[in-house]
């Protein structure tokens, strides 16, 4: 259960504790929030795995991280979350390289894209933002469970508040709206996190699951939005929109706090502490009533296992309270 808002203090990247000896995997780490998250973790000494669809872009992103973070290793793995075959290949590579994982950050995502079905027959937004991460997490779960204090952080969005899981039309075959598909996927991120937290608790695991959202961060994710929306978020209007939009560096702070803050607990959700949670330093925030529905959480979990073919065998179903 989410605790009350934590509005005290101004948590910054300077408060990230030493990460030496930890292994962190970040999806979508070649740009935007994922790149900023990886940079900070590497600077603090973590061995960082950039799990990205475009391997050349990821290698280019890795070079300056290696240069700035001298003592930390940076490894690149190709994973295309829209392909369950790619997810399985990536998991195999990661498992062969790392006997354990301390941190998995499910960050990669798409927003407002045209309707597409993946090679597995899944709607692309849901496949990228939720199902691919569900599969990757399950395939790496034993590496996380083997590491006391490990964390799984999934990046959601303010858009989850208007999200509805259309169980009767999950892949938008009858009707597709890009914004609705995105909101559904971001609600799925939270339903997944809370159900994973419940199952980890029930199993007595020393791994925790948390979520975060960046507020309105200026990243490439907005490239498919309307011209008006892009204009409103423009850094050229910083004097007018400082309350509405923030940098990718600030947007990554809720993810980083969920990932490393010693005071964070399983099931916590972090976001900006400013007006409407659009901008500001990270704090614990509340999520929608729909995200807290245990029936929807269990139902989505079961559907996700069926669609991905990935079963979280080490974890028994959480109670039906």
Produce one character per residue of 161-192: b if its CB has 16 or more CB atoms within 10 Å, e if not: bebebbeeebbbeeeeebebbbbbbbbbbbbb
The pair of structure tokens assigned to 25 is 């995997």
Q: Torsions phi, psi of 299, nearest 5? A: -65, -45
- Cross-strand bridge partners of residue 155: 212
260/277 Cα distance (integer angstroms): 21
210/230 Cα distance (integer angstroms): 29
239/256 Cα distance (integer angstroms): 27
Residues recorded for the chain = 321
| 269 is known as an active-site residue | no
Exactly one of 182, 194, 269, 270 is catalytic; which is it? Answer: 182
- Cross-strand bridge partners of residue 261: none
Q: How far is CA 48 from CA 41, 176, 207, in A?
A: 7, 37, 19
Catalytic residues, by residue number, are: 182
């Amino acid at each position: 259960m989410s605790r009350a808002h934590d509005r005290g203090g101004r948590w910054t990247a300077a408060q990230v504790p030493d990460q030496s000896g930890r292994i962190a995997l970040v999806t979508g780490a070649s740009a935007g929030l994922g790149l900023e998250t990886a940079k900070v973790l590497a600077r603090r000494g973590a061995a960082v795995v950039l799990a990205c669809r475009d391997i050349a872009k990821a290698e280019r992103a890795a070079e300056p991280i290696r240069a700035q973070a001298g003592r930390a290793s940076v490894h690149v793995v190709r994973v295309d979350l829209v392909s369950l075959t790619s997810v399985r290949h990536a998991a195999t590579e990661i498992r062969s390289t790392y006997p354990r994982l301390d941190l998995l950050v499910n960050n990669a995502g798409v927003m407002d894209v045209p309707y597409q079905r993946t090679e597995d027959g899944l709607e692309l937004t849901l496949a990228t933002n939720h199902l691919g991460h569900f599969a990757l997490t399950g395939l790496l779960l034993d590496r996380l469970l083997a590491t006391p204090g490990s964390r799984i952080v999934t990046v959601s969005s303010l858009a989850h508040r208007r999200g509805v899981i259309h169980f009767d039309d999950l892949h938008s075959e009858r009707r597709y709206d890009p914004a609705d598909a995105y909101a559904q996927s971001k609600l799925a991120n939270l339903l997944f996190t809370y159900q994973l937290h419940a199952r980890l608790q029930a199993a007595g695991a020393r791994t925790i699951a948390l979520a975060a959202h960046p507020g309105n961060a200026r990243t490439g994710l907005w490239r498919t939005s309307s011209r008006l929306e892009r204009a409103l978020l423009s850094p050229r209007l910083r004097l007018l929109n400082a309350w509405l939009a923030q940098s990718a560096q600030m947007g990554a702070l809720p993810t980083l706090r969920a990932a490393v803050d010693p005071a964070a607990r399983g099931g916590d959700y972090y976001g900006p502490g400013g007006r409407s949670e659009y901008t500001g330093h990270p704090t614990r925030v509340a999520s929608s009533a729909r995200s807290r529905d245990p029936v929807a959480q269990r139902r989505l979990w079961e559907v996700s296992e069926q669609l991905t073919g990935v079963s979280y065998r080490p974890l028994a179903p959480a109670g039906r309270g």
